[in-house]
Structure 1
């Protein structure tokens, strides 16, 4: 049941098509049962008629279905007739406004005076230019020519308003003749057109086929005053006419819908003509106001095109009125005379097509008058005709988009249909037919989608639902990447069902890549502003599959932030490593591990305690991105410095000497002795833990350090300073030295081969005594 409710529009449209098909298929069946005669006589009393009471139940039901279908046509026609009366009044008013153009003279005159004053200012400038040219004898012929034009235009410009009004009055007098001829008895033009077209013949049920339609006639006429309630009353009456024949119902439906369609065409002509006439008044008024400026353009260099444009526009709009009314008059006269010459019948009578043909010829002539307006260059003609054409195509395409097109779209979005090759082919075929049928309707939706994409993102979710299937697809493709997440979040909050439909559209219609991109954008929007522990908490609340998708949706900073938060959990770090290898491409993997390494190096104390448990890729990142100081701090704090140095040797051997410079006991790992490392080591950075773990290190430092390193040791303090200074004192306290600095210097130079210390002891004995506390 939920499936039918969700797709109620599709099933309603399909039901309408089904009724339409049944009507005309049954009509063909019933017509085959009636003898084909050109002019059958009325059936005598008691004679058998072609009714379906004795036929199967479906034939009986078809009669009422056809009658109901015709009743819908009557309802639409009555609404169009009411609208036509309104449009006809506006049309008459537009014609009257054009004929009484002088009623606008007050405003036009005021505007014209302003333009005239502006033009007079230009006259002064032109006169000065002519005078200067004459004085300087610059092109005297041109100056004389300009002066002659100047005088002529100066005289004409003050009469520009009068000249324009004379031309408008002349064209209005021409048009008024045709206008009065179309108003016999003082009736309105719209009434003349409607009566001339014989649209009222829909109520003439005396057809040449002599089929009695009196019952249907009485039903419709009795319901006519009900206005909007016509459809209900007609259908109600139809179910009470069990003795009427099927032919009556078919004729009724044909007449009702035929008149509805033709009335719609006539209504279109009157609406467009009214727009043209209103535009004419506005354009002519503006042209009269700026006429002085147009006249002055005649004598200004390189400005003659302004005058030419003004004149051609004014002339075309002035003469459009009589040209349009002439063709309109000819159209009404033509149809009226042919209609009067035909027999009293409805225009759907196959035996008397003259009335139908007359109507179509008149409509063509009326549309021809609109084409004349376009050809004459009337402002707005192109826009109005284009809008009307688009509207017609939109209506034609709406049915296709809401029936076959909507069905095809639903089938293509159905996961069940997409599982099989046959289902995919069938749904694609139906969608293709629907898209061709929809035509300009889809184009209109696409244009609306483009318009919506340019509005504020906060308005997207509200207008998205009304775009239709094709419009929504185009809109989804036009959304910038940075705005997709917010759009989906707003859509999910405002319309969950449309959100689900959109995600299905992305999956089925736009492809897996588009779906992943939108999912990524949605997840990024959900994580916006989250970092550190808040980000980790957000991800921890998800299941493993959601965590994996969320990780892929993160940017480099968020991923590195998460890796830093999870660094102490070997299981989660292993997951991150797996996700990086499976979900990211090589370039993304490189960026992720590099960013993670930099982020972890911000807390070397933490990395020192967990380094051994990190996956290999993270170890590589820490070592490769770590500076000399970073690696030295990790090495001095880790519980297994020898393993850390081994990792450095495998991944970045050139960085190993920097670490060993503060851990000289591991000098053999880079192929050196401890004494060789001590010579260049920064003794202030050697950790006390390293001294404690290597008892002989203090003695080696005491024997091999250079003179400049002595002060480093003293300033450093701690266990290293205590142990090293104690070793130096032990050397000085030997019996053969007896704290004699000269003998101590000799000991360093000849025994320990340390000339730097020997030179320092000899050259600065006081400083040496103070530093070594001897």
Structure 2
């Protein structure tokens, strides 16, 4: 064989055209002799084309889904940050908030009228000798509330400022939700690289989980933004109505109004601290994931270790939203409940569509032509060529090893 090749490629051999023809025939001969598995059969190599096309379509589709998830996430982060910045006015001080100054002054005057009417009631009850223990006790509370009614913004300010200190401690901690953009950009670049190559199911699983993370986290941030956005004007209203609430505490039959107002003030004040605590945990977990402290490799065995920090961060965000909205803060549960239903519908539809598309694509890619049927049809139409092919496969098996089953 070696002597034949030396003689063929020597200067004494035939012309150039004959050499090219012989090389082509040798190449074709070895190509036909190379053992092909039964799963690929005669035209199995043509499966490369639809698989590459399907892989490219899947890569582009996942890139679009990932971009949409990133857009929703950025929208939620922007809305959340904007709600934290708030309006540059005071929460409780009438001198620093024109809305509170006008509203609180009007309500205070109405409360003073209520104090006068209450004093008249107590005086008549005493003069008519119908004053009992409750009336005498009401007179004591009348004196206390008459002094405090003009300082209700200060009392509200102490509570709101204390809650804001705790909330700002958590929310001004580790920052960097915007760094998620780098994670999404990196995954999109990797997808585009694999779009023209072999399918990488580990990468596709990561991308789908990351897209679901983007959708869910973005919607949760939108809900947080709505919650913090509502917090400011509701605290203003509670401060405005504080004089009437203090006057209502004087008499036992109206004391329940004060208690409801007081509960709303505490809940809307500290709802930010509760949410801030879970946001702090979620953000710190994500920062550890971004720094690579919780990630190990990229094989199927440790894929859960890479995705776990993001799942834990979503759990913390969801728990914070649940704990914040499960309080009896007036309006919070109703507004956030509607938003949650809308968010669940959008996220559920996106996730269902992703899973359905992935299952259809996986079924298409894994669908192989039945080699036995093609071989039987080939043998029936070309019996002599089938025998020649079987002999070639036998020779190929002898030369190249037992690769053919």
Are 1:338 and 1:354, in contact at CA under 8 Å, matched by a contact in 2? no
Question: What pairs up with 1:672-687 in 2 under 5 angstroms?
Answer: none
8 Å CA contact retained: 1:70, 1:256? no
Quote how far apart the aligned CAs of 1:140 are.
Answer: 4.2
1:82 aligns with 2:58: no
Q: Are the counterparts in 1 of residues 267 and 329 from structure 2 also a CA contact under 8 Å? A: yes
Change beyond 3 A, Cα 1:398–1:353: closer
TM-score, normalising length: structure 2: 0.68
Cα deviation, residue 397, structure 1 = 6.4
1:79: how far off?
Answer: 2.9
Tell me the residue number matched to 2:103.
Answer: 111
**Alignment match, 2:146:** 154
Q: Distance in 1 between matches of 2:300 and 2:101?
A: 57
User: Is the CA contact 2:89–2:97 (under 8 Å) kept in the aligned structure 1?
Assistant: no
Give the counterpart of 2:158 among 146, 158, 166: 166
- For residues 375-424 of structure 1, the C-alpha deviation after alignment (integer angstroms, 9 at most, x for no partner) is 222334323443344335534469999xx9xxxxxxxxxxxxxxxxxxxx
CA distance in 1, matches of 2:351, 2:169: 44
1:259 aligns with 210
Give the direction of change, closer, same or farther, for the CA distance of 1:175–1:158 in structure 2 (3 Å limit): same
- Tell me, yes or no, if the aligned pair for 1:157 and 1:295 is still in contact at 8 Å: yes
Give the distance between the partners of 2:276 and 2:311, measured in 1 at CA.
Answer: 19
Q: How many residues align?
A: 309
The equivalent residue for 2:243 is 292
- Please identify runs of 4+ aligned residues in structure 1 that moved more than 6 A: 397-401
Deviation at 1:367, TM superposition (A): 0.4
> 1:134, CA displacement in angstroms?
1.3
Aligned to 1:729: none
Contact 1:70-1:252 at 8 Å conserved across structures: no
Deviation at 1:325, TM superposition (A): 0.8
How big is each residue's C-alpha offset from its partner over 1:328-387, in whole Å with a ceiling of 9 and x where there is no partner? Answer: 1112112322552145756x8543421211111111011000011122223343234433
Contact 1:130 1:143 in 2 (8 A): yes
Q: In the alignment, what sits opposite 2:187?
A: 202
Assess if the C-alpha contact under 8 Å between 1:91 and 1:190 holds in 2. no
1:482-510 residue CA offsets vs partner (Å, 9 max, x unmatched): xxxxxxxxxxxxxxxxxxxxxxxxxxxxx
User: Deviations for 1:92-119, whole angstroms, at most 9, x for unmatched residues?
Assistant: 1111228964497221121011110001
1:258-337 alignment runs, 5 A limit: 258-337=209-288
| Equivalent residue, structure 2, for 1:495 | none
Q: SS of 1:351's equivalent?
A: helix
Distance 1:262 1:373 in 2: 21
Answer 1 or 2: higher relative contact order, Cα 8 Å, separation at least 6: 2
Contact 1:94 1:274 in 2 (8 A): yes
**Alignment partner for residue 179 of structure 1, among 171, 180, 186?**
171
Larger radius of gyration: 1
Change (3 A) 1:121 1:306: same
Distance 1:112 1:171, change over 3 A: same
Match of 1:55 in 2: 44
Question: What are the equivalent positions in structure 2 for 1:286-685 lying under 5 Å apart?
Answer: 286-339=237-290, 340-343=292-295, 349-392=300-343, 394-395=345-346, 396=348
In the other structure, the counterpart of 2:401 is none
Q: What are the ranges of 5 or more consecutive residues in structure 1 without an aligned counterpart?
A: 1-51, 184-188, 206-212, 220-237, 405-774
Are 2:275 and 2:320, in contact at CA under 8 Å, matched by a contact in 1? yes
Shift of 1:260: 1.6
CA contact 2:289–2:295 (8 Å) conserved in 1: no
Secondary structure at the counterpart of residue 253 of structure 2: coil
Unpaired segments ≥5 residues, structure 2: 1-39, 357-405
Distance of 2:351 and 2:211 partners within structure 1 = 17
In structure 2, relative to structure 1, the CA distance for the partners of 1:399 and 1:369 (3 Å cut) is closer
Separation in structure 2 between the aligned mates of residue 140 and residue 377 of structure 1, nearest angstrom? 36
CA distance in 2, matches of 1:78, 1:398: 13
Q: 1:129 to 1:384 in 2, by over 3 A?
A: closer
Equivalence for 2:393? none
Closer, same or farther: CA 80–342 of 1 in aligned 2, 3 Å: same
CA RMSD of aligned residues (A): 3.2
What is aligned with 1:68?
57
- Provide the rounded CA distance (Å) in 2 between the counterparts of 1:268 and 1:156: 43
